[in-house]
Chains A and B, each alone.
Chain A
């Protein structure tokens, strides 16, 4: 808990909150261009949010407080994850309060809360989305933790700062098979946990093919704004974790304003590039059948396990 940490944490939360919609805008724009369309422009998600915040919130009949609080919880968990993760600076804002597991658990907490809210409406689509989302999350958990395991073996700790520091100290590590396999595994987890193609289609209008969208069908106005902001932030956090764990260059180590600025800029560039790449890749993909998703996750789990064993047996 020091000056770097506080400053960095605040900057990170602001950066993720303000930048996540822009990230979504960039991804939509890339997709539009690849489809030969002009696209609404990068700022469109922010315009949508501004409008949603001014619209009237709606409480569907028979829903409880949990339904109204869920968007807040969703945003809070994601924001705290963004505050403790080493995006701009390696020193975490709230001291040694959280490591990679805590971050994963926080994001899972958000998912579970939204699923409960969706069940609370009592609509069939809500229950369907909740059931699917929770299933995918449960199956993605082993991959997530085991690849975290692989990363922490190199650093000797699950602390985010320690992992990033170790990589900064010895950049060649990134090119070890263990770390590359872990990177692929975490990439698949990112796709599954943020509901991108081929696991879930974020732009679908068919309720029967929805996973995440089906849970938010009843939300309107500011509640919907929070939910959409949170899912954009979630994507931003996952991509940021990928970036900082496997390409931690530019992360500030001192509280100097310049260093922090460089760190922020580097973070924005890295996440932007990752997002654009993901959006471009999605153009080439079709959505998987729901019951093919376990295959994808089993494969990523195998890669994560290989990463652990490789980082033990092939310690370069």
Chain B
């Protein structure tokens, strides 16, 4: 039962990662990020309930509050203030076209499965078997971070990566300490706020947040 719930939340993590690569509208990406935060919280919660681990439960609550609710809300506001207002509410032309990046994601997932054998072998437990999921989400996030143009979808990639790392931490059983968790989440928070300010300023300046056009700021 526990195992099934655990794996279901892992499946949700994977699914949401795929959707972030797949969908173009930034609002949809933000929604998916919220769902992924909840899935991550569920993962932590299941592990906590299984190990009767109070600290982990607290972390789960924190994850839910931060990644499931707070960050998405902030992102939505950044979106409403920034791109959406100027009508760039879609990831129009990523560096790698969407179909190709989906196939690349497939390759990344296979890679994750291939490399995480040793990690799983360390402590073969149901949770350890799901480690590849965490790594796959992380790699996917990295890929999104690299190949997207819009500042906000790049932030989405960063969050994806972060979720992947956290999930891997939970699954290895090492567990990211409460402090670490809070720290990471907080600097993500900071990043979002900075982005929000930046986008609004940039919109006033250029009316666009296409990062390629920032190159012109050199000279």
Q: What is the CA–CA distance of A301 and B10 in the complex, to the nearest angstrom?
A: 19
Chain A interface extent, by class: 20 to 34
Interface residues of B in 14-70 (CB under 8 A from A): 14-15, 18, 22
Shortest Cβ-Cβ A-B pairs, 7 listed: A177-B11, A298-B99, A298-B102, A314-B7, A299-B22, A295-B98, A295-B99
B3 an interface residue at 8 Å Cβ cutoff? Answer: yes
Given known A-B contacts A299-B102, A314-B7, A314-B11, A309 and B130 have beta carbons under 8 A apart: no
Classify the interface of chain B: helix, strand, loop or mixed. helix
Residues of A within 8 A of B (CB): 172, 175-178, 180-181, 184, 294-295, 298-299, 301-303, 305-306, 309-310, 313-316
11 A-B pairs besides A176-B11, A306-B109, A310-B10 with CB distance below 8 A are A172-B4, A176-B7, A180-B15, A181-B14, A295-B22, A295-B98, A298-B103, A302-B102, A313-B113, A313-B130, A316-B7
Chain B residues near A175 (CB-CB < 8 A): 4, 8
Taking a contact as CB atoms under 8 Å apart, the answer to whether A306 and B18 are in contact is yes
Cβ-based interface call for B197 (8 A): no
Q: Is B203's CB within 8 Å of the partner chain A?
A: no
**Which residue of the partner chain A has the closest CB to B11?**
A177
Q: Are B106 and A181 in contact (CB under 8 A)?
A: no
Instruction: Write out, one digit per residue, whether chain B residues 117-148 have a CB within 8 A of any chain A CB (1) or not (0).
Output: 00000000010011011000000000000000
Q: Does B105 contact A (CB under 8 A)?
A: yes
Task: Give A316 to B127 CA distance when docked, in angstroms.
Answer: 11
* B132 surroundings in chain A (CB, below 8 A): 309, 313
Q: Is B186 an interface residue (CB 8 A)?
A: no
B110 within 8 Å of A (CB atoms): yes
**Chain A residues whose C-beta falls within 8 Å of the C-beta of B129 in the assembled complex:** 313-315
Selected from B10, B103, B109, the residue in CB contact (under 8 A) with A177 is B10
Q: Which residue of B lies closest to A293 (CB)?
A: B99
* Chain A min CB distance to B12 (Å): 8
Cβ distance A194 to chain B, nearest Cβ, rounded Å: 21
The 19 sampled A-B contact pairs (Cβ below 8 Å) are A175-B4, A176-B7, A177-B7, A177-B10, A180-B11, A294-B99, A295-B99, A301-B102, A301-B103, A301-B106, A302-B103, A303-B15, A305-B109, A306-B106, A306-B109, A313-B113, A314-B10, A314-B130, A315-B129
